[in-house]
Amino acid sequence: VKSYEQTYLDLGQKNFGTYTCPECQMSYVQGTLADDTLHTNFHRLTLEGIKYHSYQDEITLETIPEINGRVVLLVYNETRFFEKLKIKNTIEWVNLELGAVEMTEEKLKMSKAYFYVANKYDIVGFALAVRIEKAYRVIDSSSENAQNESRKVSKLQIGNDNDGSGIFCSTKPLRAACGISRLWVKRDYRRKKIATKLLDSVRKNFIYGCELKPDEVAFSQPSGDGKAFASQYTGT
Ligand code: ACO
Ligand code: ZN
């Protein structure tokens, strides 16, 4: 997904004016194929939304019966094609709305995706959390010092790390152990604490056995809305 600016530069158009669609709010250059296509897709996805379909490996973290909804966690896994696709589709769509650049495959592999689903199928909120490695002192599980370093060690569970090679962190995580690289709530669902609920789920479930404090979550390049939310959420 390219940013709008890139599209415009690529085409080298000279006579243009930006147009803001009253229905989906997207600003784009009318009459250029790339922008029109971008808008058509964005418009449809905005009005129809992205549908969530259940997958075998999803983890339901919470159910919200009032809205026939739930919070679902998906761990990026290269081999599970559909999961990858769904995460990628959602990310691409959210990128479009945020004007953010595409994420690298390496970063995606270290990420966990949290979906807030309403009405059984509608994705109305999405958070992508990525491990910030430097925020943790990593203790080799085979090391005898591991037990001495901290009384209780918890396994740092990131991605599809099932190979048994232990990565441990102390029970006292350093600040900002988790980075939020994408956060998005559907327009008509905003200011209903959906982002708050998503972030609460991230804090509780990002690292198995360690519940992160609000100020241990870092936000990457927050937007205006994002800044307002982040400062309220982290209490900074
Ligand atoms: N302006 C001022 N304060 C805000 C705003 C805002 N736009 N949004 C949230 N807050 C503060 C308020 O104090 C709010 O509590 P209140 O409603 O009782 O006053 C509190 O944060 C909790 O807000 P939530 O209801 O949990 O937040 P919401 O579900 O509306 O989602 C979000 C916030 C994700 C920023 C949403 O506005 C959004 O998707 N915006 C467009 C995309 C975006 O900018 N995402 C963040 C990019 S940063 C990143 O991706 C790392
Ligand atoms: Zn539109």
What is the Å distance from ligand 2's center to 9 Cα? 21
| Nearest alpha carbon, ligand 1 atom 15 | 191
Burial track 150-178 (b if 16+ CB lie within 10 A, e otherwise) = eeebeebbbbeeeeeebbbbbeebeebbb
Each as own residue / partner, the long-range contacts of residues 212-215 (CB below 8 Å, 24 or more positions apart, any chain) are: 212/173, 212/177, 212/178, 215/175, 215/176
Which domains are delineated in the chain? 1-48 (no CATH), 51-234 (3.40.630.30)
pLDDT at residue 9, rounded to an integer = 44
What is the Å distance from ligand 1's center to 142 Cα? 43
Residue 103 CA: which ligand is closest?
A: 1
pLDDT at residue 159, rounded to an integer = 31
SS3 166: coil
Residue 134: C-alpha distances to residues 112, 161, 177, 199, 221 (Å): 18, 18, 8, 21, 18
DSSP 198: H
pLDDT at residue 174, rounded to an integer = 53
Other C-beta atoms within 10 Å of 79: how many?
Answer: 7
The response to whether residue 196 sits with its C-beta less than 6 Å from ligand 1 reads yes
Residues paired with 182 in a beta bridge: 128
ipTM surpassing 0.95, yes or no? yes
Residue 235: C-alpha distances to residues 141, 216, 229, 232 (Å): 34, 11, 10, 5
Cβ within 8 Å of residue 25, ≥6 positions away? 46, 187
pLDDT digits (tens, 9 = 90+) for 18-68: 899 999 888 888 888 888 888 898 888 888 888 887 777 789 999 999 999
Give the integer Cα–Cα distance in Å for 122 and 53.
Answer: 9
Structure tokens given for 229: 């939310």
In the chain, which residues have pLDDT < 70? Answer: 1-16, 79, 81-82, 133-176
| Nearest alpha carbon, ligand 1 atom 17 | 191
For a mutational test of ligand 1's pocket, the pick from 186, 189, 191, i.e. the residue with the most ligand atoms closer than 8 A to its C-beta, is: 191
Structure tokens given for 230: 């982040």
